[in-house]
Amino acid sequence: MTQARLEMVSGKERRSIWGRKDEEFCADFCLVSKRVLEEKEYSIFRYHYLLGADWRLCCRQLKMDKGVFFHSIYRIEQKLGRVFRELQPYPLFPLDEYFGGSVRAPLPPAYRNLVKMPALPKNGALRPPLRKVA
């Protein structure tokens, strides 16, 4: 069993809250995975990642070929990795921001027109525009 922890919330109020971050993360992880994956993908995900079955047992239970199983695993990891990174308002990845990040109050109205940093593209390189885009 885990313990409830007292956490300080930054901002002008400077208050503290009680939370169970480990359970909250597990619940978020499972619910987001179930919402994003299709039924067949979720059954593979559940057997392999949540229940801890190796590939032989998964292939036997799901009546799949080894190659099909591993290609499915790679697609699941890619799909969930992107979703965990881009989840709004608080992503599940990186973990240090989830567990140790600060909770911030919403921006004042004067700052709402700021441009947000774009999500990382598939090739992993951000390239700023060299000239003004109309």
- For the chain, domains (ranges, CATH) are 5-101 (1.10.10)
Range with the lowest mean pLDDT among 30-44, 45-59, 111-125? 111-125
Distance CA(107)–CA(122), nearest Å, equals 29
Residues 62, 77 contacting (CB under 8 angstroms): no
Distance CA(66)–CA(58), nearest Å, equals 9
pLDDT band at residue 70 under the 50/70/90 scheme: very high
pTM beyond 0.75: the answer is no
Residues 6+ apart with CB under 8 A from 61: 47, 53
